[in-house]
Structure 1
Amino acid sequence: MSAPAVATTPAAPAAPKKKAFSWVNLGLGAAIQTFEVSTLGQPFEVVKTHMAANRGDGLVTAVKKTYQRGGIRGFYQGLIPWAWIEASTKGAVLLFASSELEYQAKKLGASPGAAGVLGGMGGGVAQAYTTMGFCTFMKTVEVTRHKDAAAAEKSSIQVAREIFAKEGIVGLNKGVSAVAVRQMTNWGSRLGIARITESVIQSMRPVERRGDKLTTGERLGASVVGGALACWNQPIEVIRVEMQSQVQDPTRPTKMTISSTAKWIWQKNGFLGFYRGVTPRIGLGIYLTCCMVFGGDSLKAYVAEQQAKKAAAKQA
């Protein structure tokens, strides 16, 4: 007589693990982003902001006017201290927030891709409401404020103090909700599109190579595609710039909300007005990706190698 069949229950999926925290990687991220914004990043940012605030100017005109405002230094308006503060802190905020949200999403049963997108969106919002709000506002102020003889003597810090004295912390974070929407859609789109591109690259490989780890070039290509296509949300970037702009226009709404600003831009510039500055923004996204992928991977590999050598030397 055969033994009765024993019912078996499927093994529970392994619990997700939190990403290990590393002060070294945090410092590297801050250093790379500060390098990026101090080289070509800020010029892209300045030209993009000028075009979004002055929607009648094309790319060539924006570059000429920026140069006329201060020569080469004109392309670095808002770099010190605002862009440096933003670059050195936003990576840490994104790392903490996105890692925790991604972990919690996986615990609730989300797929790795969905958890990554949710983590990126939440991390982007966290960036906006911590350090990016006032930094983005002050960078925009520096690019768009009228600089006559008297105004030119005021430093960026003096302008910030005057705004704070007049309007408080709310004044320094003007347009922060639009920044939050931009960052949420930025990181959600970048991660999502990059993951889809990686899957397409895998599907185009020979059958025997599918599933192999992507090369650095393939990952860079996927990230560049994600960064470029994520610029579909340029309308919210134009709205954000207009809400923070210091360009004087008597027809602007007195209370600038996302909806009232969008309505005013539509009435004044039509559909194309929402995509002013998209070209330098794409360039900014691609350059940032190159710095973070090539620079980040290379530096992390170098640091890991040096740490391994030190650990081996101690054991010897």
Structure 2
Amino acid sequence: MTDTKNANQDGSPQIEKKPVSWSNIGVGAVLNLSEVTTLGQPFEVMKTTMAANRDLSLIGSIKHIFSRGGFKGFYQGLIPWGWIEAATKGSVLLPVSTEAEYRLKLLGCDPFLAGIGGGMTGGVAQAYLTMGFCTCMKTAEITRKKDVGPEGKAPKTTWEVFKGIYKKDGIRGINRGVNAVALRQCTNWGTRFGVSRLAEEAIRKFRNKSDGQRLSPYEKILASVIGGAISAWNQPIEVVRVEMQSRTPDPNRPKNLSVWQTMKYVYKTNGIRGLYRGATPRICLGIWQTVFMVCFGDYAKEYLANRNQKNVI
């Protein structure tokens, strides 16, 4: 996060960076854990179910999820994979995006472009550093069969599934679809940060506030809602990611598909609508995530920076 309350000699706002500390990293983890444990995982399960079972409507997907475990069915994959992913990707996003956004502003980028660049950099870092195997295993939990076998044998536990995938395909198996995850996260957070910053500037103009002037909590949340909703434009990438990681039986699906080959397969089997299955819960998820990580994240970083400054003084 940057602050522009001071001015240069020419009158232009001076760009100051809030210091990134271990506290910022911890805040990112806590925010992401809070997001996923509340409404984040139910939205995740709904949009993944629709993307993997593209014949299901939103109501149909809710019934399908409920049949797999009642209310707990909406939290499939949360423990341990959702929590591991949330704690690690949250701790990566805030410091990386903050540093990238600050550097881009120093180069002369406006808040919109700096926000896009910061979000894209943080999203790619998330995917390759922390998210690969967690996303793969969450999708496996949501899409695999959990019925009792014909001999009364209980379905495999999540750790047994993990070990089976690793034994069969190694590191590449538990990270299948990571390139699609990186593409999704890059476009996700580039859009969320960029559009949220653009919305903040528009709100300032509408409310006759000066550049860099503090927005009210409601205005910050509104800007994050706009950024989160618009970020769902990349739903085809998310459908491709789910298809690559899905364990829903499909005898017609070729093996070892690339991102582009998977996109062509989904389009061939379900048309353009298939590439947008799960868009509604994805919009809700995008809003929820952006409010936590952009709006609440800004306030948390500002609070920690002010507290640290007081301790120094």
TM bucket (normalised to shorter chain) is 0.7 to 0.9
* Same amino acid, percent of matched pairs: 53
Inter-partner Cα distance in structure 1 for 2:107 and 2:121: 16
- The answer to whether the 8 Å contact 1:231/1:281 transfers is yes
**1:278 is the counterpart of 2:279:** yes
- After superposition, the C-alpha distances for 1:179-217 in whole angstroms (9 at most, x for unaligned) are 0000000111112211222222222224xx444322111
Report deviation, 1:97: 2.6
Q: Verify the 8 A CA contact 2:200 2:220 in the aligned structure 1.
A: yes
- Residue aligning to 1:37: 36
Deviation (angstroms), 1:283: 1.2
Query: After the TM superposition, which residues 3-152 of structure 1 pair with which residues of structure 2 at under 5 Å, given as runs?
Result: 18-150=17-149, 152=154
Partner residue of 2:4?
A: none
Separation in structure 2 between the aligned mates of residue 195 and residue 106 of structure 1, nearest angstrom: 13
CA displacement 1:64-116 (0-9 Å, x = unmatched): 01010111111111001100001111122123332343344345444444233
**Aligned CA distance change for structure 1 residues 219 and 248 (closer, same or farther; 3 Å):** same
Q: Is the 8 A contact 2:30 2:90 kept in 1?
A: no
CA contact (8 A) 2:118 2:193 kept: no
CA contact (8 A) 2:148 2:155 kept: yes
How much does 1:39 deviate?
Answer: 1.9
Q: Which amino acid aligns with 2:138?
A: K
Residue 22 (structure 1) shift: 2.4
Q: Aligned partner of 1:186: which letter? A: N
The residue number in structure 2 matching 1:6 is none
Does the CA contact (< 8 Å) of 2:44 and 2:282 recur in 1? yes
2:169 paired with 1:167: yes
Q: How many residues align?
A: 300
RMSD: 2.8
Partner Cα separation in structure 2 for residue 280 and residue 127 of structure 1: 22
**Is the counterpart of residue 181 in structure 1 residue 180 in structure 2?**
no
Q: TM-score by structure 2 length?
A: 0.86
Number of the residue aligned with 2:6: none
Query: Which of 1 and 2 has greater Rg?
Result: 1
**Following superposition of structure 1 onto structure 2, how do residues 290-309 of structure 1 map, counting pairs within 5 Å?**
290-292=291-293, 296=297
How big is the shift at 1:130? 1.3
Matched with 1:4 is: none
Unaligned runs of 5+ in 2: 1-8
**In 2, Cα distance between the equivalents of 1:64 and 1:123?**
35
SS of 1:28's equivalent?
Answer: helix
Do the aligned partners of residues 99 and 203 (structure 1) sit closer, same or farther apart at CA in structure 2, a change above 3 Å counting?
closer
- 1:276 is paired with a residue whose SS is coil
The CA deviation string for residues 224-250 of structure 1, in whole angstroms up to 9 with x for no partner, is: 000001100001000100010011112
2:256 counterpart residue number? 255
Q: 1:302 to 1:35 in 2, by over 3 A?
A: same
How far apart, CA to CA, are the structure 1 residues paired with 2:15 and 2:301? 24
**Amino acid paired to 2:101:** E
Q: CA separation of 1:223/1:53 partners in 2, compared to 1, >3 Å: closer, same or farther?
A: same
**Closer, same or farther in 2 for the Cα pair 1:220/1:71, shift >3 Å?**
same
Take 1:121 and 1:307, find their aligned partners in 2: how far apart are those partners?
28
Give the Å deviation of 1:255. Answer: 2.4
SS in 2 for 1:149: coil
Q: CA deviation at 1:301?
A: 7.5
1:106-165: per-residue Cα shift (whole Å, max 9, x none)?
A: 454444442332121111011111111111110000011112325743211121111111
Q: 1:181 to 1:297 in 2, by over 3 A?
A: closer
Instruction: Give the Cα–Cα distance (whole angstroms) in 1 for the partners of residues 52 and 253 of structure 2.
Output: 12
